[in-house]
Amino acid sequence: MVSTGMIVLIGVVCLIAVVLTLYGMKQEEDKQKKYEKAGEEAVSELARSLEYETKSLKSNLPSLIWIYVITIGLSMLALAFYIF
């Protein structure tokens, strides 16, 4: 039987992961709004889009991977602590 403390701990860890993910999304939205306010030309928008496609996997994906690796790791640690 899972204790209430364990459920709360896992819930908090998952909530932190969701908050960090939303924070990353908010940063990307802020960048997009900045670009929209600048009113750039189609050529520079295309160049920025191509740059984003190549760099986003190198910057955003590792951040999200670390967020979820830590979340899953802490959840497994909490589960192992509960079992043993």
Residue spans of the domains in the chain: they are: 59-84
15/38: higher pLDDT: 15
Task: Give the pLDDT band (50/70/90) at residue 2.
Answer: low
| Helix-helix angle 42-83:4-38, to 10 degrees | 170
| Single pTM value for the model | 0.54
Residue 40 above 60 pLDDT?
A: yes
Q: What is the mean pLDDT of residues 50-64?
A: 79
Query: Which CA distances in Å does 13 have to 37, 60, 73, 79, 81?
Result: 37, 20, 10, 12, 15
